[in-house]
Amino acid sequence: MLLARFLGPRVWILIAALLLAAVLVPMANLYLSPSHPLHVPSYMVPLLGKYVCYALLALALDLVWGYVGILSLGHGAFFALGGYAMGMYLMRQIGARGVYGNPELPDFMVFLNWKELPWYWYGFDQFWFAAIMVMLVPGLLGFVFGYFAFRSRVTGVYLSIITQAMTYALLLAFFRNDMGFGGNNGLTDFKDILGFPIQADSTRAGLFAASCIALAIAVLIVGWITRSKLGKLMVAVRDAESRTRFIGWRPEYVKLFAFTVSAVMAGIAGALYVPQVGIINPGEFAPVNSIEIVVWAAVGGRGTLLGPVIGALLVNYGKTYFTAVAPEFWLFFLGGLFVFVTLLLPRGIIGTIDYGWETWRSRRRASREEKGESDDGEGQPLASPAE
């Protein structure tokens, strides 16, 4: 249908692959015997799930960076906030099974001699409430932060630096015990989610499938946004902000919309991530994490739908591989990747492929300069990785 032409075949292949993975990986894990060559070992399911969450996070960043030109160095904060919201739900699910056996208070509160649950923990025993908070808290932070920043026309590196300061401030805040989020240790020792034991293979398979589906939906939504007139406006804001202003648009609202949507997506990614890794702690707020997200999107190709997903999968697979084989070389590799991508591959993998394809096609068109055959644009060619 119309949407099919709209997004181009590659995006549909990606979505189909995600949905297929959502079915096949759990089946290969649960129903194939361990000796079977296609068996997916149990440790690998949450690992893959983690990658998918990262891909979702990278896609969220790509929406603001690739399409609107806002380089956020604080997206880790939205991810972590979503994760904390989910973590709080999971903590409440532990109930009396904690070390101290307090039915009401999480262990760390008992340990700190707290007598009652802080008000902001109310409601987190309900999944629906937590689910709303997963989106509301990062979305609200993104909205408020973005409202002030964009309204006062803070742009470029200044914006990047204050987003970094934002996540740094949250990092410091969440390290404090009296914040009521478990301080240094964060939230962990989860028991079950929606009544399913969190360690069980089947639950993990379910979480993996949920992550894949969430990513597929996110790709669709981002695709829809970026292919709409608003998406064109976003790119226009990225390339020539003052021009949009002088034809009557308010770029601050365009940015605010993208930033808020992106924050919500990052929050969802965090919420899916936490039950799969079993812990959320303040380390997720570290500025380094947020910058790493940027490199995922950069490697894959910002300003594309496929790029950030592929970049996140590749880089994180690389990270797993390196930290197992030669941990001390991982940072060398990552650092080198930053330099390599910015210097030699500024469009990223997908962007470079698109660009090559685009130039080849226009050359071909120029060579047979006959009737202007109408072309159906697929994949957004990134004319200039403008900044």
Partner 1 sequence: MAEADVTNRKPQDEVQALFEPQGVREEQTPRTDAEGHGERRPAAAPASPESAPPQAEAALAPIEEPVVSPHPYATKLREQRLAKEASGHARRDTLLYLDGVNKSFDGFKAINKLSLVVARGEMRAIIGPNGAGKTTMMDIITGKTRPDSGEVFFNGDVDLTHHDEAAIASMGIGRKFQKPTVFESHTVEDNIRLSLAGPRSVLEALFHRKDQAERDRIDAILETTRLTEKRKLLAASLSHGQKQWLEIGMLLAQDPELLLVDEPVAGMTDAETEETARLLREIARTRSVVVVEHDMSFVRELGVKVTCLHEGSVLAEGPLDQVSADPKVIEVYLGR
Partner 2 sequence: MTPSIRWLLAALTFLFSAISVAPVHAQESDPAATIQKFGGKQSYDETEAVISELAATGDARVARALRALREGDLYWRESDEAVFIAERNGDNYDLLDPLTGEPAGSEPRGDMSKVRVKNSIRNAVTTALGSLTLRAENPAQRMRAAETLFSEADPEMIEPLDAAIEAESNADVLIRMQEARAAAVLASDRPAPEKAEAAQVLANRGDRESLTMLNRFANSTEDQAARTAAIAAIAAIENNIAFWNQAQNIWYGLSLGSVLLLAAIGLAITFGVMGVINMAHGEMVMLGAYTTFVVQEFIRTSAPGLFEWSLLIALPLAFLVSGTVGLVMERGLIRFLYGRPLETLLATFGVSLILQQAVRTIFGPSNREVGNPDWMSGAFDIGLMSVTWNRLWIIIFALAVFAALLIVLNKTPLGLQMRAVTQNRSMASAMGIRTPWVDAMTFALGSGIAGIAGVALSQVDNVSPNLGQGYIIDSFMVVVFGGVGNLWGTLVGAMSLGILNKFLEPYAGAVLGKIVVLVLIILFIQKRPRGLFAQKGRFVDA
Per CB under 8 A, contacts with partner 2 among 146-175 are 148-149, 151-154, 156-158, 160-162, 164-166, 168-169, 172-173, 175
b (16+ CB within 10 A) / e for 316-350? beebeebeeeeeeebeeebeebeeebeeeebbbbb
Q: Which does 120 bind (CB under 5 to 8 A by kind): partner 1, partner 2, none?
A: none
CB of 68 within 8 A of CB of 234?
yes
Non-local (6+) Cβ contacts of 128 within 8 A are: none
- Separation of alpha carbons 172 and 95, rounded Å: 28
CB of 53 within 8 A of CB of 269?
yes
Question: Which residue from 232, 288, 340, 361 is in contact with partner 1, where contact means CB under 8 A?
Answer: 232
- Stretch touching partner 1 by CB under 8 A, among 68-76, 159-167, 235-243, 289-297: 235-243
**Other Cβ atoms closer than 10 A to 241:** 19
CB of 258 to partner 1, least distance (A): 9
Binding mask 245-274 for partner 1 (x = CB under 8 A): xxxxxx--xx--x-----------------
- Separation of alpha carbons 51 and 18, rounded Å: 12
Checking DSSP bridges between strand 187-188 and strand 192-193, what pairing results, if any? unpaired
Binding mask 280-319 for partner 2 (x = CB under 8 A): -------xx--x--xx--x---------------------
Per CB under 8 A, contacts with partner 2 among 75-134 are none
Residues paired with 187 in a beta bridge? 280
CB of 85 within 8 A of CB of 244?
no
CB of 120 to partner 1, least distance (A): 31
Non-local (6+) Cβ contacts of 267 within 8 A are: 78, 79, 81, 82, 85, 134, 135, 137, 138, 139
In 3D space, the residue among 281, 99, 289 whose CA is nearest the CA of residue 184 turns out to be: 281
Binding mask 336-375 for partner 2 (x = CB under 8 A): xxxx-xxx--x-----------------------------
Question: Which residue from 202, 228, 323, 342 is in contact with partner 1, where contact means CB under 8 A?
Answer: 228
Q: Which does 17 bind (CB under 5 to 8 A by kind): partner 2, partner 1, none?
A: none
**Which stretch of DSSP H or E encloses residue 280?**
strand 279-280
CB of 26 within 8 A of CB of 45?
yes
- Stretch touching partner 1 by CB under 8 A, among 7-15, 117-125, 131-139, 371-379: 371-379
Question: Which one, 102 or 155, has the nearer CB to partner 2?
Answer: 155
CB of 279 within 8 A of CB of 267?
no
Non-local (6+) Cβ contacts of 295 within 8 A are: 311, 315, 334, 337, 338, 341
Token pair, residue 47, equals: 């690992």
Per CB under 8 A, contacts with partner 2 among 27-86 are 71
- Residue 152 as a binder of partner 1 (CB under 8 A): the answer is no
CB of 318 to partner 1, least distance (A): 30
Binding mask 187-226 for partner 1 (x = CB under 8 A): --------------------------------------x-
Question: Which one, 292 or 354, has the nearer CB to partner 1?
Answer: 354
Question: Which residue from 162, 239, 330, 334 is in contact with partner 1, where contact means CB under 8 A?
Answer: 239
- Residue 325 as a binder of partner 2 (CB under 8 A): the answer is no
**Other Cβ atoms closer than 10 A to 173:** 12
Site size toward partner 2 (CB under 8 A) is: 43
**Which stretch of DSSP H or E encloses residue 109?**
helix 107-111
Residues that bind partner 1 (CB under 8 A): 225, 228-230, 232-233, 235-236, 239-240, 242-250, 253-254, 257, 362, 372, 374-375, 380-384, 386
Residues that bind partner 2 (CB under 8 A): 71, 148-149, 151-154, 156-158, 160-162, 164-166, 168-169, 172-173, 175-176, 287-288, 291, 294-295, 298, 328, 331-332, 334-339, 341-343, 346, 385, 387
